[in-house]
Amino acid sequence: MSASATLSDLPATEAGAGTAVEATPSFSPLYRQIKALLVRGLQEGEWLPGQAIPSELVLAARFRVSQGTVRKAIDEMATDNLLVRRQGKGTFVASHAEQATQYRFLRLQPDDGSATPLQRRLLDCRRMRAPAEVARLLDLKAGEPAVQVRRLLLAPAEAAAAPRPVVLDDLWLPGTLFKGLTAERLAAWRGPLYRLFEAEFAVQTIGAEEKIRAVAASAEEAALLEVAPGAPLLSVERLTHTYGERPVELRRGLYHTAAHHYRNVLS
Amino acid sequence: MSASATLSDLPATEAGAGTAVEATPSFSPLYRQIKALLVRGLQEGEWLPGQAIPSELVLAARFRVSQGTVRKAIDEMATDNLLVRRQGKGTFVASHAEQATQYRFLRLQPDDGSATPLQRRLLDCRRMRAPAEVARLLDLKAGEPAVQVRRLLLAPAEAAAAPRPVVLDDLWLPGTLFKGLTAERLAAWRGPLYRLFEAEFAVQTIGAEEKIRAVAASAEEAALLEVAPGAPLLSVERLTHTYGERPVELRRGLYHTAAHHYRNVLS
DNA sequence: CAGTGGTCTAGACCACTAG
DNA sequence: TAGTGGTCTAGACCACTGA
């Protein structure tokens, strides 16, 4: 309903099979155009995470296509993790802010199968002008404002022992996207960071790309992670993006992999 | 045709929608059963990599279902990288033995975007009884025969310099699957290992799971990779499997990540 | 019960490939 | 031209959800 203004600008489509669609320079099938329109709706916040989008029949009527065509568009978006289908209930905008204990993109696992969640400890949060390298990766102009965050993730304590640090994260965020983000706000937040992004700043993280290396711990890093200086650490540089591949976060994690490993599935 | 004996044992299916299918304890839709039958055909070598499977209409007739149902089964197998569709030509069994320069599962990339392929150098190849840990992971009985291979991958030389080692791989293969594998045969082989597996031993690698760590180079490893002892290296333990999650290779790679990185895409 | 997504069918035309 | 996969439609029934 509120969408019709935006979404009804689909090229007129007569009934019949193999419908030719003009106005698109590079031909793409109807269901892909519908997918594109739906993605645009998500980008523009027409439907928010967790909310239901209109039913397949309603969308089919709106776009003047068959239910099967809408279905194929939604199918692709579901496999893209943009939508979630729930039989009998509807189709919902994927929210990556649910799985309470789950870290969204963290592939680190304990060597024993235990599933005890990691604790967070905020070390630093400050606004600054983005360094050249950071600005380049985040698609910012040189000197634009950025937020830098440093934090630790710790494995819960055994018995009376102190929790052991496992991950040291350094984050840079575009300052314009995260306007009201302060150390106090961060410290008060309980839950995954990406949930904060979505709930407070309407920044939805869709995917990421990581570059992984083995590095030797510097003196400072070693102290924070409680390892010997020069100890081997996993360096994970992550560029997180939202709809349309727009980068929204640069994160450099140092993982202590003595009792954990990074798990990856290839196909 | 040669398949009918194997594949025609699909439960009889009357025309009509929402066909109920018995004989399956946990209900699964028709297209999944057809997918399972097709996968079984692949496992049994009914159609070999690179060959075409029967057309959708032929399969639909054989299974007594509509073309659309077969199509959905094939669609899933295509996204699983088991089949490859080519419009106008047919549907083919995926062969992971093609991309000449491409290493099948190697996610390592040069930091500059250069695409120069790595050179291989075989260090060792011997038959032995599988160590307990290897046997466990490869699903072998203790003491069953195994093949162990050690090799280097090297970045091509700049100018007159010698090529620089980048990856040290240790592999264990089930001896029963790789009967005629000898050092001579390996040394003579030009091309990716996984292509050898497929061409000579009918072992098709479908997927893999990796556990990644940062480790310090031992004296021996350091010498082979031409780094200082104790230098940080990426340890990648890969368990490769064929159809039905059956493990066929255990590989432990040590990556020197000074000028390369492991790239991963998350979603 | 009505409404939703999930499966299945039957048949049409399009786009591509190859003889 | 015939055969293949690719797209689209229209309509049926099933399985699940919640009032």
> How far B5 CA sits from the closest chain A CA (Å)?
31
Does B209 contact chain A (CB < 8 Å)?
A: yes
Q: What is the pLDDT of residue B6?
A: 31
For residue A26, what pLDDT is reported? Answer: 61
Please give the Cα distance from B36 to A68 (Å, whole number): 25
Query: Could you identify the residue written with the tokens 């049994």?
Result: B44
Cβ distance B262 to A232 less than 8 Å, yes or no, reads no
**Phi and psi, residue B32, nearest 5°:** -75, -35
Q: What is the pLDDT along chain A (267 residues), one digit of tens a residue?
A: 333 333 333 333 333 333 333 333 467 899 999 999 999 999 999 999 999 999 999 999 999 999 999 999 999 999 999 999 999 999 999 988 766 556 889 999 999 988 888 999 999 999 999 999 999 999 999 889 999 999 999 999 877 789 999 999 999 999 999 999 999 999 999 888 999 999 999 999 999 999 999 999 999 999 999 999 999 999 999 999 999 899 999 999 999 999 999 999 998
Best mutation target among B167, B194, B266 (most A Cβ atoms within 10 Å) is B266
Number of other residues whose CB lies within 10 A of the CB of residue A209: 16
- At residue A129, φ and ψ (nearest 5 deg) are -85, 135
Query: Six-digit token pair at B176?
Result: 């029963």
Tell me how close the Cα of B40 comes to any Cα of chain A, in angstroms: 19
Q: Are strands B52-53 and B83-86 parallel, antiparallel or unpaired?
A: unpaired
The pLDDT value given to residue A233: 98
Is A257 in contact with B213 (Cβ distance < 8 A)? yes
* Sign of the Cα pseudo-torsion (A229, A208, B263, B246, in order): positive
Amino acid sitting at position A98: E
Question: Would you state the pLDDT for residue B160?
Answer: 78
Tell me which residues of chain B have a pLDDT lower than 70.
Answer: 1-26, 98-102
Taking the CA of residue B63 and the C1' sugar atom of nucleotide C18, their distance in angstroms comes to 28
Q: What is the pLDDT, as a whole number, of residue B96?
A: 81
If DSSP codes are grouped into helix, strand and coil, which group holds residue A36?
helix
**In angstroms, rounded to a whole number, what is the distance separating the alpha carbons of residues B116 and B120?**
13
Q: Do A261 and B234 touch (CB under 8 A)?
A: no
Point out the nucleotide closest to A78 (alpha carbon to C1′): C5
Which runs of E-coded beta strand occur in chain A?
52-53, 83-86, 90-93, 108-110, 119-129, 145-155, 164-174, 207-216, 232-242, 246-255, 260-266
Sign of the CA dihedral running A18, A24, A28, A32? negative
Inter-chain touch A79–B81, beta carbons under 8 Å: no
Sign, CA torsion A153/A159/A161/A162: positive
Is A208 in the B-facing interface, judged by CB distances under 8 Å? yes
